[in-house]
């Protein structure tokens, strides 16, 4: 069952990611990215990260990607035009990409800890209580610093989006 | 194997009940609105228009589904499906009653109980935007696009105060599982005041409840926040270009999300299936008295039926007998542990849904800039202050 | 599930599968970043890469039976949200000034 779920959602994630790269219209790319995020959330659940899966859906898929869609629709972004240059780029880079992925994968399979297997339910340390405890004790300072980061980001966004710059 | 069978039965039961309820919610809404406006509402199909949902369904399914020219076909067809699927998913984590034993099988009333239940509901409600956004964009119409732009901005904005209003009662109950949330609200102060989070110490969550309900109106795009489908400005907003079954899907999604959010409100704030006062003072007899009263009223009106409503003479006694039967069911000792919690849960949820309809009949719509200003300058600061005060109260009273 | 199927598929998934998936997603992110010329799509490719890295964090968190990986990916999400807010504001400003989203046409800083 684990393998089946993994293969299904890994497949969806990879297909959506390929679609993201291939689609010329930004809205299609954005929705494929949402697909990747959704299937990654399921994989996080398989890895015992209930909290991180929920946050993935709420923050990434539910807020960040909606913001992307909002901006795409606001700017009425059109599909990219294909140029001769872009066609050439694709011819050169697709084989390169394949080699890169195969190299990386073989390296990972070689170096990955031997016998390490993932079985659903064996690790439940990613529950809300555990993550919360770690966030508010060990990682309290970074957590507070992120709030300042977000504040700065809000200010930056407001200043940038205001009027003429 | 037993688990699969029980789950299948429960899934079927909940799906059928929820979808039927969504269909009848339309009838209830039209009736309530009509009575607010001193009209009669649907009256032609069946006694008092009771078969109206059925005829609406037949009408919507058999109508020709018009697909406008130049739409993005894939996304155009995906949007209603996405909308209705995401609206129906979150009912899975909502319990309707305690763990009960039926035919020797011990099971919980409700599909599943996740320890991140509240987060799942939040996630599904934030993903629900996609149905509208994609639908509005794929329709290739300016009204739809405006509607979906408004809806995405509105729902993202109102999610923040809603999440903060949810967090405040969670501080009191210390869990994210809906079953445990409801279980934590069992019992009574001084023997009569229920330990619901709206009443519970150290800081009663009545204000969070208000904030949550306001945000819930915006999340479900209901009056006074129904800007995405403001018909006077935008024809019908994001579903302008949809017809037939696809329109029905959007409609179902809206009513399903109203139902879900009212269930969540009654679980988080109103104690779920726990009665308003203890069983020692006879709270178990409330449904009996209620249904008996309804039956008596029906019999009375059947005897005194107005000339213009001839059919009432025949239909009212039938419904009266049905109500009598329902009242009798609540007296059967075997069914009591099953039905009483269900009654209280349904009563609270129904009351909240009634408030949704009531406000639709009462309040005018906000202007768009007022809507956004209200979210960011009033609701969000209020929710933050409320959360801080609750946190402080909890921190001071627990060691 | 029929027994043949259960024999065909392992009961547990090797950790390396997760890492390979993450590598594939990351490479696709790089590809999108390099190929696409729409600023918004480029930005989304960066998000894809961040997601791939998050998967690695969570997978290793499982392997080490520690919660720290989850915290890291939580922080990555927070930073991504902040980045999206600022980045999209920058894109809006660029579009206002140049009326284009093509990354090749925004090149006045080039020598």
Task: Provide the shortest C-alpha distance from residue B176 to chain A (in Å).
Answer: 8
User: Which chains pack against B, by 3+ Cβ pairs within 8 A?
Assistant: A
Note the pLDDT tens digit of each residue in B181-192.
888 888 887 777
- pLDDT beyond 70 at B366: yes
Taking CA–CA distances from A50, the nearest residue in chain B reads B116
Q: Where are the alpha helices (DSSP H) in B116-185?
A: 117-127, 129-138, 142-173, 178-184
Distance in angstroms (rounded) separating the CA atoms of residues B272 and B133: 33
pLDDT at C4: 59
Taking CA–CA distances from C33, the nearest residue in chain A reads A21
Show the CA angle centred on residue C53, arms to residues C24 and A149, nearest 5°.
145
Across residues B13-35, what is the average pLDDT?
A: 89
E runs forming strands in chain C: 13-14
Q: Chain A partners of C14 at a C-beta cutoff of 8 Å?
A: 112, 116-118
Q: How many cross-chain Cβ pairs, A to C, lie less than 8 Å apart?
A: 248
Share of chain B above pLDDT 90, in %: 11
Residue C79 placed within a domain: yes
pLDDT interval class at B306 (50, 70, 90): confident
Is the torsion defined by CA of C95, C100, C104, C106 positive or negative? negative
Residue C27 placed within a domain: no
Q: Do C85 and A153 touch (CB under 8 A)?
A: yes
Q: Do B176 and A128 touch (CB under 8 A)?
A: yes
Taking CA–CA distances from A10, the nearest residue in chain C reads C21
Distance in angstroms (rounded) separating the CA atoms of residues B67 and B64: 9
Nearest C-alpha neighbor of B338 from the set B98, B95, B6: B98
Nearest C-alpha neighbor of B31 from the set B361, B363, B290, B351: B361
Residue C1 placed within a domain: no
pLDDT at B133: 85
Residue C55 placed within a domain: yes
Q: Do C37 and A3 touch (CB under 8 A)?
A: no
Q: Is A100 on the interface with C (CB under 8 A)?
A: yes
Could you tell me the two tokens for B333?
């000792």
**Residue A64 burial class via C-beta count within 10 angstroms: exposed 0-12, middle 13-18, buried 19 and up:** buried
Q: Chain A partners of C74 at a C-beta cutoff of 8 Å?
A: 51-52, 55, 131, 135
Looking at chain A from residue 30 to 89, which residues have their Cβ under 8 Å from any Cβ of chain B?
31, 34, 50-51, 53-55, 57-58, 61-63, 66-67, 69-70, 73-74
Could you tell me the two tokens for B110?
């409700």
Task: Provide the shortest C-alpha distance from residue C37 to chain A (in Å).
Answer: 7
Q: How many CB atoms lie within 10 A of CB A19?
A: 17
pLDDT interval class at B280 (50, 70, 90): confident
- pLDDT beyond 70 at B116: yes
Residue B239, helix vs strand vs coil: helix
Residue C88 placed within a domain: yes
Task: Provide the shortest C-alpha distance from residue B295 to chain A (in Å).
Answer: 47
Q: Chain A partners of C16 at a C-beta cutoff of 8 Å?
A: 108-109, 112, 116
Share of chain B above pLDDT 70, in %: 97
Give the position of tokens 């800081």.
B203
Across residues B105-123, what is the average pLDDT?
A: 84
Distance in angstroms (rounded) separating the CA atoms of residues C76 and A49: 15
Whole-Å CA distances, C107 to C41, C83, C111? 18, 22, 9
Contact B223, B360 (CB under 8 A): yes
Distance in angstroms (rounded) separating the CA atoms of residues B203 and B206: 9
Q: Do chains B and C touch (3 or more CB pairs under 8 A)?
A: no
Could you tell me the two tokens for A60?
């990434």
Residue C4 placed within a domain: no
Parse chain B into domains and list their residue ranges: 68-274+332-398
Q: Is C105 on the interface with A (CB under 8 A)?
A: no
Note the pLDDT tens digit of each residue in C65-110.
888 889 999 999 999 999 998 998 888 888 888 887 887 777 777 7
Note the pLDDT tens digit of each residue in A51-83.
999 999 988 888 889 888 888 888 877 777 766
What is the span of the domain harbouring residue C89?
37-111
Whole-Å CA distances, B274 to B91, B179, B284? 19, 12, 11
Please tell me the total count of domains within chain C. Answer: 1
pLDDT interval class at A91 (50, 70, 90): confident
CATH code where residue C41 lies: 1.10.287.3510
pLDDT interval class at B141 (50, 70, 90): confident
Q: Do C24 and A26 touch (CB under 8 A)?
A: no
Which of A14, A30, A37, A40 is the best residue to mutate to test the C interface, defined by the most C CB atoms within 10 Å of its own CB? A40
Which contiguous run of DSSP H or E holds residue B372? helix B368-373
Nearest C-alpha neighbor of A149 from the set B377, B162, C57, C86: C86
Distance in angstroms (rounded) separating the CA atoms of residues B135 and B201: 45
Residue C21 placed within a domain: no
Distance in angstroms (rounded) separating the CA atoms of residues A49 and C39: 32
Which contiguous run of DSSP H or E holds residue B287? helix B286-303
Looking at chain C from residue 13 to 72, which residues have their Cβ under 8 Å from any Cβ of chain A?
13-21, 23-25, 27-32, 34-38, 40-41, 43-45, 47-48, 51, 54-55, 58-59, 61-63, 65-68, 70-71
């Amino acid at each position: 069952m684990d393998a089946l779920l993994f293969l299904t959602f890994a497949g969806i994630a990879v297909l959506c990611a390929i679609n993201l790269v291939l689609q010329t219209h930004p809205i299609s790319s954005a929705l494929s990215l949402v697909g990747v995020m959704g299937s990654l959330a399921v994989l996080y659940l398989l890895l015992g990260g209930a909290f991180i899966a929920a946050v993935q859906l709420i923050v990434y898929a539910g807020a960040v990607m909606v913001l992307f869609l909002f901006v795409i629709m606001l700017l009425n972004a059109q599909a990219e035009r294909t140029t001769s240059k872009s066609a050439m780029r694709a011819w050169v880079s697709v084989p390169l990409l394949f080699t890169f992925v195969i190299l990386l994968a073989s390296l990972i399979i070689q170096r990955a800890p031997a016998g390490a297997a993932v079985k659903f339910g064996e690790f439940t340390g990613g529950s809300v209580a555990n993550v919360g405890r770690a966030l508010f004790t060990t990682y309290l300072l970074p957590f507070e610093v992120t709030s300042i980061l977000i504040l700065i980001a809000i200010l930056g966004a407001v200043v940038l989006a205001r009027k003429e710059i | 194997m037993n688990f699969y069978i029980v789950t299948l039965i429960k899934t079927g039961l909940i799906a059928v009940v929820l979808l039927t309820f969504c269909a009848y919610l339309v009838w209830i809404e039209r009736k309530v609105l009509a009575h607010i406006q001193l009209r009669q509402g649907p009256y032609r199909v069946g006694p008092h228009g009771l078969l109206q949902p059925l005829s609406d369904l037949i009408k919507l399914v058999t109508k020709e589904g018009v697909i406008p020219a130049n739409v993005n076909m894939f996304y155009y067809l995906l949007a209603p499906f996405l909308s209705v699927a995401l609206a129906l998913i979150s009912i899975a984590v909502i319990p309707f009653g305690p763990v009960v034993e039926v035919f020797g099988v011990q099971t919980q009333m409700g599909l599943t109980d996740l320890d991140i239940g509240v987060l799942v509901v939040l996630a599904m409600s934030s993903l629900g935007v996609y149905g509208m956004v994609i639908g509005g964009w794929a329709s290739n119409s300016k009204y739809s696009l405006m509607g979906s732009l408004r809806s995405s901005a509105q729902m993202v904005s109102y999610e923040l105060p809603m999440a903060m209003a949810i967090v405040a009662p969670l501080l009191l109950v210390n869990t994210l599982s809906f079953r445990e949330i409801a279980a934590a609200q069992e019992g009574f102060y001084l023997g009569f005041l229920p330990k619901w989070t709206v009443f519970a110490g150290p800081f009663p969550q009545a204000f969070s409840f208000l904030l949550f309900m306001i945000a819930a109106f915006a999340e479900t795009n209901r009056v006074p926040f129904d800007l995405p489908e403001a018909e006077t400005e935008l024809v019908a907003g994001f579903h302008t270009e949809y017809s037939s079954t696809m329109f029905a899907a959007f409609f179902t999604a809206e009513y399903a999300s109203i139902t879900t959010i009212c269930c969540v409100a009654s679980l988080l704030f109103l104690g779920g299936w726990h009665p308003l006062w203890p069983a020692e003072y006879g709270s178990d007899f409330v449904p009996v008295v209620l249904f008996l009263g309804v039956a008596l009223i029906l019999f009375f009106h059947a005897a005194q039926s107005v000339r213009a409503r001839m059919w009432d003479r025949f239909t009212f006694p039938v419904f009266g007998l049905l109500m009598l039967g329902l009242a009798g069911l609540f007296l059967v000792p075997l069914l009591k542990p099953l039905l009483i919690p269900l009654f209280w849960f349904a009563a609270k949820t129904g009351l909240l849904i009634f408030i949704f309809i009531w406000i639709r009949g009462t309040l005018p719509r906000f202007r768009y800039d007022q809507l956004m200003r209200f979210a960011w300058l009033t609701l969000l600061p209020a929710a933050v202050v409320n959360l801080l005060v609750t946190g402080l109260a909890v921190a001071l009273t627990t060691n | 599930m029929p027994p043949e199927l259960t024999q065909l598929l392992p009961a547990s998934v090797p950790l390396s599968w997760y890492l390979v998936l993450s590598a594939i997603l990351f490479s696709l992110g790089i590809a999108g970043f390099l190929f696409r010329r729409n600023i918004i799509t480029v930005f989304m490719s960066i998000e894809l890469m961040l997601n791939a890295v998050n998967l690695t964090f969570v997978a290793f968190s499982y392997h080490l039976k520690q919660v720290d990986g989850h915290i890291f990916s939580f922080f990555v999400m927070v930073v991504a949200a902040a980045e999206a807010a600022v980045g999209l504001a920058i894109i809006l400003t660029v579009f206002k000034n140049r009326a284009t989203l093509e990354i090749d046409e925004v090149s006045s800083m080039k020598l």
